[in-house]
Amino acid sequence: MRGEGFRGLTLSELLTIKQVEKLFSEGRRIDERGFLEFREIEINTNVIEKAFGSARVSLGDTVVVAGVNFELGTPFPDSPDKGILIVEGEVLPTASFGAEAGPPNEYEIELSRVVDRGIRESEMLPLEEYVIKHGEVVYKIFLDFNIINDDGNLIDAANLAAVAALATAKMPDINYVKEHIDELNSINIKEVPKVGVKIRDLPIAVTLGLKNNKFIVDPTFAEEIAVESLITITHTNKGELCSIQLLKGGLTFEQVFEAINIAYEKNIELRSILERNGIKVI
């Protein structure tokens, strides 16, 4: 995965990976965590006052910031009665030695699309309610997130930040906009009275690594390279699967189901952390 190819790794990264591998063979993790234990999670919302919604999440040393923006836009021709949700994420060049400025590479695109799928497929946002005028004007919601520091498990961290930013966002009151539909050109979307975003679900992504036929959760950067396989499994509020992505390597048929069960257990744990931060489906 990341860290591969000609860019190579720093010497310190290489040494850590070696150490991680050695410890794995002894049944231990480098930070003495349990195999199914998450690092410390910190969630702060509304960290960007000027955005409609925002969050900063840290998962150990992995740090993500997410922001939400609302615009007026034209719906896609094949869904004239739905708002538009655009999820884009980038790993900033601040995040690690190997991270590069420039257009998103395939790992960043996969990261964005996995986070996007969780939100979209869980139907977290009621997009069908974001229509100002059928086929012509809808809300366009941008959810942008950035990895500021990369110590692995970007998907889980980004998913938490995205979900926290969306769930705590204040959006422009659609009734107000509809009442002023004849003056749409002169509406400044930033100045429309705001109401809380209604959410219907909270997708929770859990990424597992597999090494020596044992699963770990919340892999660090070095662990992501050391493990043989990586898989992300996202659950809805009701415990349904809403997104899976095998990121690296392979699994036996049985391991697929084992992974799903672990992800389900951990999803409940993460869900309660979100709830402690006031983020839940009402």
Residues that bind a second copy in the complex, under the rule CB under 8 A: 80, 135-136, 185-186
The least CB distance from residue 155 to another protein, in Å, is 13
Residue 260's binding partner out of a second copy, another protein, none, with CB under 5 to 8 Å set by partner kind: another protein
Residue 32's binding partner out of another protein, a second copy, none, with CB under 5 to 8 Å set by partner kind: none
Distance (Å, whole) CA 154 – CA 64: 8
Residue 136's binding partner out of another protein, a second copy, none, with CB under 5 to 8 Å set by partner kind: a second copy
Distance (Å, whole) CA 33 – CA 125: 35
Q: Is the separation of the CB atoms in 203 and 121 below 8 Å?
A: yes
The least CB distance from residue 135 to a second copy, in Å, is 5
Residue 186's binding partner out of another protein, a second copy, none, with CB under 5 to 8 Å set by partner kind: a second copy
Residue 5: partners with Cβ closer than 8 Å, 6 or more residues away: none
The least CB distance from residue 145 to a second copy, in Å, is 26
- Taking the least distance from each CB to another protein, the nearer of 101 and 276 is 101
- Taking the least distance from each CB to another protein, the nearer of 212 and 276 is 212
- Taking the least distance from each CB to a second copy, the nearer of 78 and 254 is 78
The least CB distance from residue 93 to another protein, in Å, is 4
Residue type, 194: K
Distance (Å, whole) CA 220 – CA 61: 9
Distance (Å, whole) CA 108 – CA 38: 23
Residue 256's binding partner out of a second copy, another protein, none, with CB under 5 to 8 Å set by partner kind: another protein
In the numeric block, which tokens belong to residue 130? Answer: 């974001």
The least CB distance from residue 192 to a second copy, in Å, is 14
What is the DSSP secondary structure assignment for residue 192, as one 8-state letter? S
The least CB distance from residue 200 to another protein, in Å, is 12
Distance (Å, whole) CA 48 – CA 59: 19
- Taking the least distance from each CB to another protein, the nearer of 26 and 228 is 228
**Residue 69: helix, strand or coil by DSSP?**
strand
Residue 179's binding partner out of a second copy, another protein, none, with CB under 5 to 8 Å set by partner kind: none
**Residue 143: helix, strand or coil by DSSP?**
strand
Q: Is the separation of the CB atoms in 118 and 105 below 8 Å?
A: no
Q: Which residue reads 């996969």 in tokens?
A: 110
What is the DSSP secondary structure assignment for residue 94, as one 8-state letter? T
Sign of CA dihedral 24, 28, 34, 37: negative
Residues that bind another protein (CB under 8 A): 5-6, 47-51, 54, 61, 63, 65-69, 71, 88, 90, 92-97, 101, 103, 106-107, 109-110, 112-113, 117, 120-122, 142, 144, 146, 148-151, 190, 231, 236, 239-253, 255-257, 260-261, 264
**Residue 260: helix, strand or coil by DSSP?**
helix
- Taking the least distance from each CB to another protein, the nearer of 153 and 245 is 245
